[in-house]
Amino acid sequence: MGFERLAKIAAPGAGAARIGFGLAAVGRPAYINLGRDRDLPAERPVEVMRQRSHELLDAAYAAGVRYLDAARSYGRAEEFLADWLRDRPDAARHVVVGSKWGYTYVADWRTDAETHEVKDHGVQTFERQRGLTDALLGDRLDLYQIHSVTPDSPALTDRELQTRLAELAAEGVTVGVSTSGPRQAEAIRAALAVEVDGRPLFRTVQSTYNLLEPSAGAALAEAHAAGRAVIVKEAVANGRLTEAAERLPAALRQVAEETGATLDAVALAAVLHRPWVGVVLSGAATTAQLRSNLAAADLRLDERQLTELERLAESPEGYWHHRSELPWS
């Protein structure tokens, strides 16, 4: 049921519904997005971040956003989202809720933790995290994705895990994967090939795709052609396409000037122009950022502008190396 609802809200012409809201930046006190010292208060206790999350969820829903994205590793994101859904039953009936398992949040609500999350795609981690997600989101969960699958992930070969995931799918929860790293295309294609009892297991793919890192594009187009829903994350490259714009080639600034749009809206619009994209996530930390992101839904770019923007692409290896060095703050 979750897959059908996601496909419906991501249909062409759906406007702001093609932009989802992800809680990675506001479900925990530290993240790797640039500009957090400006976007968030210096002190970030749980209740402050809960309130910020709810403000953003309210604004997103009011603007037409219908896909909401969390993860076990996003601190208390599932908890914040569950509270919001409980307090707003009318809105809860109209949104599609996704979460992810595979990373465990271990920073204990500290911004200066040496390690913030630990990755494991084993069966025991799935069972443990699935129980925690179920306790918070229950039957409100529509989509459960494996977090940051890479080609060497055991999730692509572990038959016991795949059987457990197929059982979850049989209960009505859509099962999907998210991908990260310079070999995203390889991971996507491997995931598309996974079957249980002759049926494809993964029905959604969530991947990093942006003007700096478009290498997964062909594989995502294949996923779309194969009937999978495609969700794009990190469309503004963790702030590199906004905060550091003066260090980018002039194309992004030029298109923003030509269209009268903000840099982030241009970056998101360029992704939305790809015919295989279903939903693009906004990772906004402020309502002003969210409004700016949502403007992308109505922004039209011509072929010349899109071609100029394509020249911003970096090598996958270079992009992911840079990303790995972004500080948690």
- Split into its structural domains, the chain has a count of 1
- pLDDT of residue 59 exceeding 60: yes
The per-residue pLDDT for range 236-285, each reduced to its tens digit, is: 999 999 976 557 768 999 999 999 999 999 999 999 999 999 999 999 99
Q: What is the dihedral of CA 129, 132, 136, 142, to 10 degrees?
A: 30
3-state DSSP assignment of residue 175: strand
pLDDT value of position 13:
64
Using alpha carbons, select from 87, 70, 86 the residue that is nearest to residue 78.
70
Encode pLDDT of 131-175 as tens digits. 999 999 999 999 999 999 999 999 999 999 999 999 999 999 999
Total-model pTM: 0.96
The answer, yes or no, to whether residue 2 has pLDDT greater than 80, is no
Which amino acid makes up residue 257? Answer: E
Average pLDDT (101-108) is 98
Q: What is the pLDDT of residue 145?
A: 98
Does residue 319 surpass a pLDDT of 70?
Answer: yes
pLDDT of residue 4: 73
Residue 6 scores a pLDDT above 80: no
Side chain identity at residue 277, one-letter code? V
Q: 189-198: per-residue pLDDT in tens?
A: 999 999 999 9
Above 80 in pLDDT, residue 314?
yes
CA distance 93 to 61: 12
User: Quick one: what percent of the chain has pLDDT higher than 90?
Assistant: 92
Q: What is the pLDDT of residue 85?
A: 98
Domain of 268: which CATH number? 3.20.20.100
Question: What would the pLDDT profile of 203-220 be if each residue is shown by its tens digit?
Answer: 999 999 999 999 999 999
* Rounded-to-5 percentages of helix, strand, coil across the chain: 45, 15, 40
Average pLDDT of the segment spanning 283-298:
98
Residue 230 pairs with which residues in a beta bridge?
Answer: 205
Does residue 6 or residue 78 have the better pLDDT? 78
Q: Where are the alpha helices (DSSP H) in the chain?
A: 2-9, 36-39, 46-63, 77-87, 89-92, 123-137, 159-170, 184-192, 217-225, 250-259, 263-272, 287-294, 303-310, 316-324
Query: What is the span of the domain harbouring residue 12?
Result: 1-325
Side-chain half-sphere exposure of 247, counting CA atoms within 13 A: 7
